[in-house]
Structures are given as structure tokens and as C-alpha cells.
Amino acid sequence: MMIIGVDLGGTRIRAACLDSDLNILNRTETLTLGEEGPDRVIDRMIETIRQVWPQGEKVEGIGVSSPGPLDPATGVVLAPPNLPGWRDIPLAQRLREAFDTTTYVGNDANVAVLAEVARGAAVGCKHAIYVTLSTGIGGGVLIDGRLLLGYGGFAAEIGHMVMVIDGQELRLEQVAAGLALARQAREGIEQGRQSIMLDMAQGDLSRIDSKIVGQAAHQGDALALDIVQRAGHVIGLGLTSLLHLFNPEIIVIGGGVSQIGDLLFQPMQAAMRASVIYEGYIDRLRIEKAALGEDVSIIGAAALVHTQGGLIPLLE
């Protein structure tokens, strides 16, 4: 039987028809145009799904990757910051009514771990953590093959772990996400630090983003290197807490900031080695780059159907 996977993003709606092994057979996309409100966006989702709906084939279900927070048990999207006007929207119900088929809705960062275990860098793993380092920081946790959802479905908000850094109580993404790296670069230049980042941004501080920070770091810029190495160290401390809590066999790291590569990963791994309470946490730990690119949300959404919304194991 076929599965429909849908990625509801702040910019684009993408839909695909997948086979039972989660191979993408057909796909399409359209603009979200979230400013038009939830009803218009859902209408566009329905039309996009119809374009990939298989003719003459049974559909096992629809899975949707959506911004959170949301309730995966009911499929209600609660209050996503990048979708204006979305408050307590019964998305799963709307799609069930349109297509008369089982529908699941999952947090976009949570479903990514399902995708990487099913088809990506963590194939075959039952204890896995996925971390996305992007504009913000998000993630998903798989424990004994099951998606960690928590009591209300809000679990695994990795980027919002509260840490004391330089005497301040800060969330991880306030220090190490893409927006944070760019902010620190602008602040450093405003305080008089010399940096090629200003020339790379054509003299406009507002144009400095995490990509410029990464590029400057690779060119040996002192300010950019300080920012990237500090971010790597702080991410490593955050991941150490996850190791102590969940003892995964693999951590998969994706997102645009991860493209900085070893300049970020080396201080991250050094912090993990220095701060674990026992070397057994990292002796056999695999740390891998995400393998699925932008397909991760579609494949993860489809995996929700296989796992009944993350409630049963992905792997037996």
C-alpha cells in the first residue's frame, strides 16, 4: 500500500507518494502563503495531496510534518510561531474528512529522527537522537525504536534546554543557533573587533548571517573562529546532557549550521569527551551528518503512518 507524506513548512508545502519502504515515488510542492490564514493553507495542502494521490492504489494513511507545538495524539496544531493565525487547528481531522483515511501529524524536528532511522544515517538504530542546527535548534529522540513524545507530545525540545553560560541562564539555541551566531558576530564588530565578515557583508552588518560566520571562520577570521568554537563547545555540553539522559547509539546532526563542519564539530566532540561521567557513553557512540537533506520531513511524515504517530516501534 502507498503512503502520503506531507511537509508543512513556513514557506512551502511539499507532498509525496511513498511506497511501503518509504521510497519517494512522486512529489510536488506549492507555496504555503501562511499569511492567508489556516483555512486557505489547508485547502492548498489538500490540493497538493490530490496531485500525488495514487490512482488505483490503496493508501495506508497520511503523515504530516508540521511546525510545533502540536498534539500528536489528536493531530491538533496548537500555536506554531511561523504560521500566523494557527491556534488549536484540527489539522488531522480536516485531512481525514477530505480523504477518508487515517492521518497523523508530528512535530517536524521529531519526525526527522524517524526518517534518518528508516532511510538515512541511522538505519537500523533503535536508540537515536537527531539534532538540527539551523535558524533555531530542534531535535527528536528515539528510545527502543519508539519516538519520545512525552505526556502532552511536547518532548525533545533540545534547543530549549536551559544552561548557565557565562553567568547567564540561557537556552541552547540562544547561544548556538544560526541567529545567535550572526548576532554575536554583529555585536563583536560593533564592540571594535576586526573581522572580514563586514567586508563579506558589503559593509552592512544586518547582512551577516551564520553562513558568513562559517565562511569567515574557514578563512581564519579570529572573531568568527571564536564564535564557532564557543558554539561547538556549548552544543557539546548540551549533547552530553542528552547522552546522560538517553544513552543513544547514534547522534545525527543536520541543518545549515552543521555545514560549518569540523570547526564546529571538533570543539563539540572535545566538550563531550571532557564532560561525560563515564567513557562508556561515547566509546561506541556514532556521530553522523544527516543524510536525507530536505527529504527528511517527507520521509519522516510517512514514517508516522508506519509507527501510528510514533506510538509503536519503527523497527522490530
Sequence-distant (≥ 6) Cβ neighbours of residue 105 within 8 angstroms? 63, 64, 66, 70, 72, 75, 76, 77, 91, 92, 304, 309
Which triple of cell numbers denotes residue 67? 511546525
Reply yes or no on whether the pLDDT at 53 is more than 70: yes
Task: Please give the average per-residue pLDDT across 36-42, as a whole number.
Answer: 95
What pLDDT shows up at residue 311?
86
281, 289, 275: which is closest to 237 by C-alpha?
275
Predicted confidence (pLDDT) per residue in 130-179, tens digit: 999 999 999 999 999 999 999 999 999 999 999 998 899 999 999 999 99
Whole-angstrom Cα distance, residue 49 to residue 66?
Answer: 15
| 8 A C-beta contact, residue 111 and residue 118 | no
Structure confidence at residue 248 as a pLDDT band (50, 70, 90): very high
The total of other beta-carbon atoms located within 10 Å of residue 263's CB is 17
Structure confidence at residue 316 as a pLDDT band (50, 70, 90): low
Task: Quickly list H helices, 191-279.
Answer: 197-200, 210-218, 222-246, 262-275
Predicted confidence (pLDDT) per residue in 90-123, tens digit: 999 999 999 999 999 999 989 999 999 999 999 9
Tell me how far apart the terminal alpha carbons of the chain are, to the nearest angstrom.
Answer: 19
Q: Give 53's DSSP letter.
A: P
| 8 A C-beta contact, residue 24 and residue 73 | no
What pLDDT shows up at residue 278?
96
Task: Please give the average per-residue pLDDT across 38-48, as a whole number.
Answer: 96
223 backbone dihedrals φ, ψ, rounded to 5°: -65, -45
Residue type, 282: I
Which triple of cell numbers denotes residue 76? 491538533
Structure confidence at residue 203 as a pLDDT band (50, 70, 90): very high
What pLDDT shows up at residue 148?
95
Task: Please give the average per-residue pLDDT across 5-23, as a whole number.
Answer: 95
As a whole number, the mean pLDDT across the chain is 95
This prediction's pTM: 0.93
Reply yes or no on whether the pLDDT at 81 is more than 90: no
Task: Please give the average per-residue pLDDT across 265-278, as a whole number.
Answer: 97
Element (H, E) at 51: helix 38-52
What pLDDT shows up at residue 82?
84
218, 242, 83, 101: which is closest to 158 by C-alpha?
242
| 8 A C-beta contact, residue 221 and residue 196 | yes
| 8 A C-beta contact, residue 67 and residue 9 | yes
CA 236 → CA 204, 217, 253, 264, distances in Å?
Answer: 32, 19, 12, 10
The total of other beta-carbon atoms located within 10 Å of residue 84's CB is 14
Q: How far is CA 62 from the centre of its chain?
A: 20
Q: Which residue has the cell 510536488?
A: 28
Task: Kindly list the structural domains of the chain, giving each domain's residue range(s) and its CATH number in brackets, ordered by start.
Answer: 2-120+293-306 (3.30.420.40), 128-289 (3.30.420.40)
